[in-house]
Structure formats: structure tokens, C-alpha cells
Amino acid sequence: MVKSSSTPAAANEPESDSVGSRLRQRRLALRLTLRQVAESAGLSEGFLSQLERGVHSGSIATLQKVAAALGLDVGDLFTPSENKPAVRRFTDQQGFAFGVSGRKLRLTPKQFNHLEVFLGVFEAGGSTGVEAYSHGESEELLLVVSGEVEVTVGETVHRLATLDSITYLSSEPHRVREAANDTATVLWAIAPPSY
């Protein structure tokens, strides 16, 4: 005789679309450890593990801290994930000031766990800033949509024109500068997301 059980076999596994599973998916996509996220959020590693597994639900304040550590807004944790395409209209996007005479626009939603894409526009002489910068442990591709830019990676300077591209690790110090005294538009693809 076979006995049935009302206890699910995977009682310690979060539901695939729960807040905990979204936290875990995002953390893994960013290649972060429980310890790294817990320290950034000011929580214990054990508590974060329980939060991811759905053992604890956490307060809104706690979820805000964890979401911030993962580069999300707390509302992103409650938005149902959908398998349908997400359309983002260019005219609806605000973008943000970036570097010197530059603007940056996120083209992928923050909940997109494996890739993030940004559009950057640099006015004449604009750049990502005076100093090179680095972020995360991701692979990054920069494609010049229009204009000309100089991309410095480490100590090496590369001059790129329309439809040229370059790949590098985001952990390497890098800098982009408009190079033809005109407007330049670039596209960054970063995997996994590091912003």
C-alpha cells in the first residue's frame, strides 16, 4: 500500500515565482554569494538564505535593503514575471545624466537577470568621466551606433567608428570619450548585469 503525503517533496524550495525565488535568481545572475548580499544588506547570511527559501517573508524594510543590494527596487520583487516580450518605447524613457556631457538610458528592465543593455549619447567632447571606472565581474560589449569614440581599456586606447565594437571585462578600468567633436551614440550590453 502506498501512502500519500500532503507535504510537498521540495518543502525547502521556494515557489518559482515567489519573492524569495526572485531574490535568489537575481543574486545568482549577478554571481553574488549569500554572504556578499547579506553583508551589503546588513543581514545575516542565514536569514537571507531563509528569505530566499521562503522560510521567512521579511519586512518591507528588509526587502528594500536586499533589493537595493541586488540593484532592484522593492516593487520589482512583487511584479509578476511574464514570458511575453517587454516593449519599452524610446519616447517614454527619461535616461539619466552620465559622465561629462553624456546621457544613459536603460533598455532592459531591471528584472532582466542575465543581460542589461544601455544606450549612451555623448555630446561633442563628452565622456564617461575624467577617470576610468570598473564595475562588477561581467562581460561587456560596446557598439558604436553613430559617431566616433575613443575607448580606453586599461592602458590601451581604441578608436572606434560607426558599427565598430569592442568587448572587455567590466572589472577592467575603462573609459569612453566622444572623439570627432560631434554627437556619438553607443550601445552597451553587459552580462550578467552589474548595475
What digits encode the pLDDT tens for the residues 61-77?
Answer: 888 889 888 888 777 77
Alpha-carbon distances, residue 32 vs 12, 40, 44, 142, 146 (angstroms): 21, 11, 15, 24, 35
In words, the CATH class of domain 19-77 is mainly alpha
Half-sphere exposure for 161 (CA within 13 Å, toward CB) = 0
Q: Please answer whether residues 173 and 96 qualify as being in contact, where contact means their C-beta atoms are separated by less than 8 angstroms.
A: no
The superfamily in CATH containing domain 90-191 is Jelly Rolls (2.60.120.10)
With bands split at pLDDT 50, 70 and 90, how would you rate the model's confidence at 85? low
DSSP conformation class of 106: E
Within its chain, how far is the Cα of 141 from the centroid? 14
Supply 191's cell numbers.
552580462
- Residue 1: the pLDDT is 44
Q: Which residue has 507535504 as its cell numbers?
A: 7
- Residue 4: the pLDDT is 40
For the chain, what are the domain ranges? 19-77, 90-191
Model confidence pTM above 0.85:
no
With bands split at pLDDT 50, 70 and 90, how would you rate the model's confidence at 167? very high
